[in-house]
Amino acid sequence: MSTPAITCETTPEPKRPGASRVGLIVPSSNTTMETELPELFRRQAEATGHKYTFHSARAGMKKVTKEELLAMVGKAAQCAEAVSDADVDVIAYACLVAVMAQGPEAHEGSEQVIADAAAGNGHPAPVTSSAGALVRTLQEIGAQKVAMITPYMKPLTQMVVDYIEGSGITVLDAISLEVADNLEVGCLDPQNLPALARSLKREGADAVVLSACVQMPSLAAVQAVEDELGLPVITAATATTYEILKALGHTPAITGAGSLLSGAGILTPANA
């Protein structure tokens, strides 16, 4: 008896109505972006009926040092080609500090490199980056002064501060948890974030950046901190989600992740 021939796919499965493909470029040691974003989009799908799938490419990075971050940046185009093979509808470059370590407004160049690589591979798609998304989202909600928490060593946190301030936003305070190993960053307990947020110098702040890092878990704490502090609470992950939805032309309808993604309008600070 002959064995039936196995047919292998040589092209992506045709896109289906009511579904979108999200491409992610992540550090090889990242464990959080591919858990928080699918959970956020699960809530979006629950509210709207639209479905989302995720398709990732990984770039080598273990230690959160400037050298490893710059090496990762050099792999962005190759990763973009790989993820675009899935004919994704949008691409998110999910490593905030790797971009910010290159200097002010580096997200613009990084996003263009990725867009060009995807287009050159025959699958053009809109591109966002966690670095660009955080800056643009803060600008969009009118945040002129912020306080933030990062897992980085202090020199890298200062780079993030400089980058954000280079976009015209004042950083009133920044807490550095000083965790260099990226896997360890992914194991940080988000339930510690409310106490850290309380300790920030927030007088005059327009928003709190609860996690200026896509690898530091924060989703479980976003709504609680926003409710307690009465300030808009943004994270690298929620800002990236916001821009992915915008790129797809979808209105946010996500519960329990802060006013940014609720679709009900951004929370107005009590001191505004």
Q: What is the CATH number of the domain that holds 120?
A: 3.40.50.12500
**Total number of domains constituting the chain:** 2
pLDDT attached to residue 62? 57
Residues 164 and 191 grouped into a single domain: yes
Residues 127 and 147 grouped into a single domain: no
Widest distance between CA atoms in the chain: 79
Instruction: Measure the CA–CA gap between 80 and 269, rounded to whole angstroms.
Output: 38
Instruction: Quote the pTM value.
Output: 0.90
Highest mean pLDDT among 13-22, 218-227, 261-270: 218-227
pLDDT attached to residue 60? 65
DSSP collapsed to 3 states, 142-162: CCCEEEEEECCCHHHHHHHHH
Which of residues 189 and 11 earns the better pLDDT score? 189
Structure tokens at 194: 């409310």
Q: Tell me the binding residues.
A: 30, 95-97, 152, 182, 214-215
Q: Is residue 105 part of a domain?
A: yes
pLDDT attached to residue 95? 84
Q: Give mean pLDDT, residues 138-166.
A: 96
Whether the pLDDT of residue 267 is over 60: the answer is yes
Contact 212, 96 (CB under 8 A): yes
DSSP state of 267: P
Residues 123 and 212 grouped into a single domain: no
Q: Is residue 76 part of a domain?
A: yes
Residues 125 and 187 grouped into a single domain: no
Instruction: Measure the CA–CA gap between 84 and 125, rounded to whole angstroms.
Output: 8
Beta bridge partners of 19: 51
Q: Is residue 83 part of a domain?
A: yes
Residues 123 and 158 grouped into a single domain: no
Active site residue ranges:
95, 213
The pLDDT tens digits of the residues spanning 207-264 come to 999 999 999 999 999 999 999 999 999 999 999 999 999 999 999 999 999 999 999 8
Residues 30 and 126 grouped into a single domain: yes
Contact 216, 29 (CB under 8 A): no
Residues 40 and 94 grouped into a single domain: yes
Q: Is residue 174 part of a domain?
A: yes
Q: Is residue 258 part of a domain?
A: no
Determine the structural domain holding residue 30 and report its residue range. Answer: 19-131+242-248
Structure tokens at 89: 């509808």
DSSP state of 215: S
Residues 144 and 230 grouped into a single domain: yes
Whether the pLDDT of residue 43 is over 60: the answer is yes
Contact 45, 52 (CB under 8 A): yes
Q: Is residue 260 part of a domain?
A: no
